[in-house]
Chain A
Amino acid sequence: MSQEKLLVALAGQPNCGKTTVFNMLTGARQHVANYPGVTVEKKSGRFSAEGRPVELVDLPGTYSLTSYSLEERVARDFILYDKPRAIINVADASNLKRNLYLTLQLFEMGVPVVLNLNMMDVAERRGIGVDARGLQEYFGSPVVPTVGKKGSGAPQLKAAVAALADAGPARAFAVDYGPLEPFVAEIGDLVAADPQAAGAYPSRWLAIKLLEADAEAANLLARHHPEAAEVMERVQALRARFETEAGLSADRHIAFTRHRLCADIFRRFVTVPGEKRRTLSDKADSFVCHRFAGPVILVLILLGLYQISIVFGGWVALQVWPVWGSLESFTEGLLPAAGFLDDPLLRSLGMWTVKSVTAILNYLPIFFLLFALIAILEDSGYMPRMAFILDRLFRRFGLHGQSTLPLILGGVYVGGCAIPAVMATKAIPDERARLATILVAPMMNCLAKVPLYLILISAYFADHAGMAMFFIATVTLFMALPVAKALSLTVLRRRESAPFIMEMPPYHLPTAGGVLRRALERIWLFVKKIVTVVVAVAVIVFMLINFPNLGRERLEDYAARRDAAVDAFMAEVDKTSFKGRIAPEDVLALVLFEEDMKSAKRGVSDQARADAINARFAEANPVFYAVVSREGKDGKALNRALKGVINTRKELRRNMRAERFEASFLGVAGRALEPLTQWAGFNWRINIALLSAFAAKENSAATLGAIYGIDGEGGGSVEQGMLAGEEGFTPLHALALMLFMALYPPCIPASIMVRMQTNSSKWMLFSIGYQTLLGLAVATLVFTGGRLLGLSGVQAMWAFYGLCVAATVGMALIPEKTARELSGPQTRQPKEGIAS
Chain B
Amino acid sequence: MTINEMKPGETRAVKGLTAGGALGQRLMDLGFFPGAAVQVVRNAPLVDPVELELDGYHMSIRHDEAGHVEVE
Interface residues of A (CB under 8 A from B): 63-64, 66, 68-69, 95, 97-98, 101, 251-252, 255-256, 259-260, 281, 285-286, 289-292, 294-295, 384, 387-393, 395, 401, 498-505, 818-820, 822-828
Contacts and interface: CB of A to CB of B under 8 A. Distances in A.
A251 B56 contact: no
B33 A500 contact: no
A818 B64 CA distance: 9
A321 to B, nearest CB: 42
Nearest to B16: A252
Given A255-B29, A391-B49, A501-B27, A98 B59 contact: no
A503 B34 contact: no
Interface string B1-44: 00000000000000001111111111111110110100001111
Given A498-B22, A503-B57, A823-B19, A389 B29 contact: no
A823 B28 contact: no
> 7 tightest A-B contacts by CB?
A824-B21, A823-B19, A392-B46, A64-B29, A255-B28, A819-B64, A504-B58
Given A500-B62, A501-B61, A501-B65, A98 B31 contact: yes
Contact of A823 (B23, B33, B46): B23
Contacts of B26: 63, 68, 498-499, 501
A251 B23 CA distance: 13
Residue among A281, A388, A500 with the most chain B CB within 10 A? A388
B72 interface: no
A95 B30 contact: no
A357 B39 CA distance: 54
Given A98-B31, A289-B42, A823 B21 contact: yes
Nearest to B17: A252
A500 B21 contact: no
A97 B27 contact: no
Nearest to B21: A824
Contacts of B58: 281, 285, 503-505
Contacts of B28: 251-252, 255-256, 259
A661 to B, nearest CB: 51
Nearest to B24: A823
28 contacts: A63-B26, A63-B30, A101-B31, A252-B28, A255-B29, A256-B28, A256-B34, A289-B51, A291-B45, A388-B51, A401-B49, A498-B22, A498-B26, A499-B27, A499-B61, A501-B26, A501-B30, A501-B60, A502-B61, A818-B62, A819-B23, A819-B65, A823-B20, A823-B21, A824-B19, A824-B23, A826-B20, A828-B21
Contact of A393 (B27, B42, B46, B68): B46
Contact of B57 (A64, A285, A390, A505): A505
A289 B30 CA distance: 22
A828 B20 contact: yes
B42 to A, nearest CB: 6
B45 A292 contact: yes
A502 B23 contact: no
A103 B49 CA distance: 29
B68 A819 contact: yes
B44 A822 contact: no
Contacts of B29: 63-64, 66, 101, 255
A281 B27 CA distance: 24
A260 B33 contact: yes
B25 A251 contact: yes
A228 to B, nearest CB: 23
B53 to A, nearest CB: 9
Nearest to A385: B60
Contacts of B27: 499, 501
A828 B23 CA distance: 12
Contacts of B36: 259
Contacts of B68: 819, 823
B7 to A, nearest CB: 15
Nearest to B44: A388
A256 B57 contact: no
A179 to B, nearest CB: 16
Contact of A392 (B31, B48, B67): B48
A723 B51 CA distance: 57
Contacts of B65: 499-501, 819, 822
A98 B34 contact: no
Contacts of B59: 501-504
B56 A97 contact: yes
Contacts of A259: 28, 31, 33, 36
B11 to A, nearest CB: 11
Contacts of B34: 256
Given A259-B31, A823-B68, A392 B44 contact: yes
Contacts of B42: 286, 289
B27 to A, nearest CB: 7
A395 B19 CA distance: 21
